[in-house]
Structure 1
Amino acid sequence: MRYLPLSDADRSAMLQTIGATTVDDLFKDVPANALLSGPIAELPPHASELSVERQLGALARKNLAASEAPFFLGCGAYKHHIPASVDHIIQRGEFLTAYTPYQPEIAQGTLQVLFEFQTQVARLFGCEVANASMYDGSTAMWEAIVMGHRITRRNKTIISSGVHPHYVSVAMTMAKFTEDRLETSQPDLSAETDAEKLIAAIDGETSAIVVQYPDILGRITDLTPIAEAAHANGAILIAVVTEPVALGLIKSPGEMGADIVVGEGQSIGVGLQFGGPYVGLFATREKFVRQMPGRLAGETVDAGGKRGFVLTLSTREQHIRREKATSNICTNSGLCALAFSVHMSLLGEKGLRQLAQLNHARACEAADRLSAIPGVKLINDSFFNEFTIELPVEARPVVRDLAEKGILGGVSLGRLYPGANALQNGLIIAVTETVTDEDIAALEAGLKEVCQ
């Protein structure tokens, strides 16, 4: 699928057809004072591809590369090993697309992948149906809140203090332009989640309860009592999963009564690229499928009786009238969904469970060694591959000091919650299968030194 630019003859023919002499004629309606008289002074002159590569390479070397340093960052973006076969398969012409097939029935390879992707997400989340991806995890959470509003005809949503603050920020921004009322708070540096507070806050005006599983501090709680309390009051439970690998080891939110499960799929198939792209996951109960945003790929047979795939449901504004759409965030992440599905297929259920077990074992080892450092306290009494420790000093300077030693030593709660004094000493550590014994030893030694 190569891009073939137009020739001069092609351009001349096109101009002649529309009655223009030159390309400049196309801009005759632009005021003269708005036209550029020459090159933009602030931009450097053009350079060769080789020289640009060298310049950008020099800039990149100023970063502490994730591939070259002990890496303990997490909080919604995780470093996992992605087999080289994933990149090979997603570049095949039958599958390769970054977006929606606009003549979907001719894109049978893409539709089949989306169908398989939906099946994988639905099974992973413990729900009956999943869509063909969303933009990312944070906007998927917002879409779930709005969907809850449509289902319950209510507009008050209670967001757990354990939900990622960036996700909450996205929801708060979007809610400025709707009738939705969002209530939330900041977490306590404690092993206890706010499950009991959430249950006590549910009333007849509540549309949905939003929880993260595992939550921002890595804590894991049983969602069943929250789901039961929500349902008893005519509300729904929305669960947010930022680390889907965890569901290879812990019970899925759908099994515990969650009505909508959303999340971020980056950690399966999609590497860390300095902030994106990501892929939003979205699953729900079959009875709510008509309120689900996005697209649904379905299986059928053609006129000859052969198996085929179609877009069964399209509820985005670019498919139907804006006022009838269930989603106005029109970007899905087709290429990332493809990478997710390929990686999941290569792992299989057994491989995903083994990967999850390896993550948890590595994290337990790190937690034991770090919590043995004088003055360091492990907050969690349960976690998957991410946990929170409390340092004897403020965490943000510690993170910077560790980076100077060549260690990416976690995410400080002070960065996530600036101004929250009670959280300033908190440090979130993520440990995946990519972390070695030497990495854990380096972090342990670094923390001992900087925490003295």
Structure 2
Amino acid sequence: MDYSPHNEKDIKEMLHTIGVKTIEELFQSIPESVRFEGELSLPEPLSEPEMRKYISTLAAKNLDASKDYTCFLGGGAYFHFIPALVDQLASRAEFYTAYTPYQAEASQGTLQTIFEYQSCICEITKMDVSNASHYDGATALAEAAIMTYHLQNQKRTRFILSKTIHPEYRRVANTYLKTLGVEVIELDYDKKLGTTDLNRLKDVLNDKTASVAFQSPNFFGCIEDADEISKLTHSVGAKLISCVEPLSLAVLKPPGEYDADIAVGDGQGLGNYLSFGGPAFGFFATKNEFVRRMPGRIVGQTLDADGKIAYVLTLQTREQHIRREKATSNICTNQALCAMRGLIFLVTLGKNGLVKLANLCVQKSHYTAEQLKEKGFNLKFKAPFFKEFALELKSPESSQEWLLKENRILIGPPLGRWYPELSDSILIAVTELNTIDEINSLVKSLK
């Protein structure tokens, strides 16, 4: 069977239509110095049965963190329970093939799921309004920082990012902010507690500060003093950006209750698989008074001509809809399918289910930490943690590799990758899915 999409006749007709005689002429604008010469090193063609067998052989080499390993991976992507209902509903063709819902009359199902997702995000964060989601937690944080710049009429030019925020989030935020010509301060952390250095925060806050961003639980797993950070930030009129782990909000104080101006985070743990780190979705919520500056897509509920409930895209102040110079953001889309998985996850577990899941994370992670301490290991930091902690090891990378090869146990990542002063430490995350036998095996295997 020939899989060539075009025969010679097709090619000649297409070239004639666009006004060129040969394919070489079509690509003449590309310098010869960068063109590939010779033939690509490709295998011989295969029949369909042969191709199926070859692809199946390759696929068999993939290993699953939930089936082939014991997973204690942390650092922003976590191994959590996903109810069967999430896959069942998210796999319906009307959801996974749906396009952008510009025509409300033809997109009520998609618009309703987005509206309900926004409602759930507001419920867990205790914020007033949410957008339809962002690409991930990193872009949500970066967009939040830019939003605070515009909220302050571009007159405040100092941005403070705690170094306990995920390093990759900080890199993305810096990339966004450097185009504005503003000052970005990465605030150091308390080396004993593993949380934002509040004394240093007091020193760098001034009337030029647009916003302060922190993460809790932070990248080390430690719980920050959100109330004090909020108090200090607002004392100089700056805005507070809180980056949160959504499952932790079932047991920890949500951003709305400590007067955060913007709440962001990554939704991977809400019904989305590890999948080598993605895709997932970022969530973004803020106060009512800032809604017209909020980036991203927003779905609202209204009534149609017959008085029935209907859903529409609303407050479209994104670059795609209005003049660029008037736009609040160039984020014109959302992670609809992944966000819908988050919605299904949240409503399937419900409030009581989320609290139970979060408590299991707390109990199992603290049991693990205590068992490791009894064996002679030290936790790197003294601050309370939710489900993840930094453990001191003589050689984190070697231990990680040995556990993987010899015991099929996944831990990490090592912190020295981003924090040279923490080259003796590695992250371990324990979730509701880790059994006591798995935890005991980890403790026994670590040397």
Q: CA deviation at 1:33?
A: 7.6
Q: CA deviation at 1:174?
A: 2.3
1:363–1:54 distance in 2 versus 1, CA, 3 Å = farther
Moved more, 301-310 or 395-404: 395-404
Letter paired with 2:213: V
Moved more, 216-225 or 372-381: 372-381
The equivalent position to 1:179 in structure 2, one of 181, 184, 203, is: 181
Q: Check the 8 A contact 2:296/2:333 in 1, yes or no.
A: no
Moved more, 406-415 or 112-121: 406-415
Match of 2:347 in 1: 345
Match of 1:43 in 2: 42
Match of 2:242 in 1: 239
Q: CA deviation at 1:122?
A: 1.0
Letter paired with 1:291: R
Mapping for residues 93-242 of structure 1, pairs under 5 Å: 93-97=93-97, 100-152=100-152, 153=154, 154-185=156-187, 187=189, 189-196=191-198, 197-241=200-244
Q: Is 2:35 aligned against 1:74?
A: no
Q: Check the 8 A contact 1:270/1:278 in 2, yes or no.
A: yes
Structure 1 CA distance for aligned equivalents of residues 247 and 265 of structure 2 = 11
Structure 1 CA distance for aligned equivalents of residues 242 and 49 of structure 2 = 48
Q: CA deviation at 1:194?
A: 1.9
Match of 1:23 in 2: 14
The equivalent position to 2:365 in structure 1, one of 337, 352, 363, is: 363
Q: Check the 8 A contact 1:210/1:238 in 2, yes or no.
A: yes
Letter paired with 1:338: M
1:316–1:26 distance in 2 versus 1, CA, 3 Å = farther
Structure 2 CA distance for aligned equivalents of residues 279 and 434 of structure 1 = 22
Q: CA deviation at 1:137?
A: 0.6
Mapping for residues 332-411 of structure 1, pairs under 5 Å: 332-377=334-379, 379-391=381-393, 393-405=394-406, 406-411=408-413
Structure 1 CA distance for aligned equivalents of residues 272 and 216 of structure 2 = 20
Q: Secondary structure at the match of 1:112?
A: helix
1:404–1:367 distance in 2 versus 1, CA, 3 Å = same
Q: CA deviation at 1:408?
A: 0.4
Q: Secondary structure at the match of 1:209?
A: strand
Moved more, 55-64 or 435-444: 55-64
How many residue pairs end up in the alignment? 428
Structure 1 CA distance for aligned equivalents of residues 140 and 51 of structure 2 = 37
Q: CA deviation at 1:84?
A: 1.6
Match of 1:425 in 2: 424
Q: CA deviation at 1:307?
A: 0.9
Q: Check the 8 A contact 2:194/2:220 in 1, yes or no.
A: no
1:149–1:37 distance in 2 versus 1, CA, 3 Å = closer
1:64–1:86 distance in 2 versus 1, CA, 3 Å = closer
Match of 2:25 in 1: 32
Q: CA deviation at 1:223?
A: 1.2
Letter paired with 2:395: E
Structure 1 CA distance for aligned equivalents of residues 184 and 59 of structure 2 = 40
Structure 1 CA distance for aligned equivalents of residues 277 and 46 of structure 2 = 27
Match of 1:4 in 2: none
1:105–1:132 distance in 2 versus 1, CA, 3 Å = farther
Q: CA deviation at 1:50?
A: 5.0
Match of 1:83 in 2: 83
TM-score using structure 1 length = 0.88
Q: CA deviation at 1:155?
A: 2.1
1:50–1:373 distance in 2 versus 1, CA, 3 Å = farther
Q: Where do 5+ consecutive residues of structure 1 fail to align?
A: 1-6
- Per-residue CA distance 1:62-110 (angstroms, 9 max, x = gap): 5553121110111111111111211111233453356522323320011
Match of 1:3 in 2: none
TM-score using structure 2 length = 0.89
Q: CA deviation at 1:32?
A: 2.7
Q: CA deviation at 1:25?
A: 2.9
Q: Secondary structure at the match of 2:243?
A: strand
Q: CA deviation at 1:56?
A: 4.5
Q: CA deviation at 1:53?
A: 5.0
- Per-residue CA distance 1:134-193 (angstroms, 9 max, x = gap): 111101100000000001132211001110001111112223322232111554543252
1:244–1:98 distance in 2 versus 1, CA, 3 Å = farther
1:54–1:416 distance in 2 versus 1, CA, 3 Å = farther
Q: CA deviation at 1:270?
A: 0.8
1:98–1:142 distance in 2 versus 1, CA, 3 Å = farther
Q: RMSD across aligned C-alpha pairs, in angstroms?
A: 2.6
- Per-residue CA distance 1:240-276 (angstroms, 9 max, x = gap): 12x3111111110221111000110111011111121
Q: CA deviation at 1:40?
A: 5.0
1:271–1:292 distance in 2 versus 1, CA, 3 Å = same
Q: Check the 8 A contact 1:100/1:332 in 2, yes or no.
A: no
Q: CA deviation at 1:416?
A: 3.2
Letter paired with 1:439: E
Structure 2 CA distance for aligned equivalents of residues 155 and 40 of structure 1 = 54
- Per-residue CA distance 1:343-391 (angstroms, 9 max, x = gap): 1111111111111111111111111111222243352431111111112
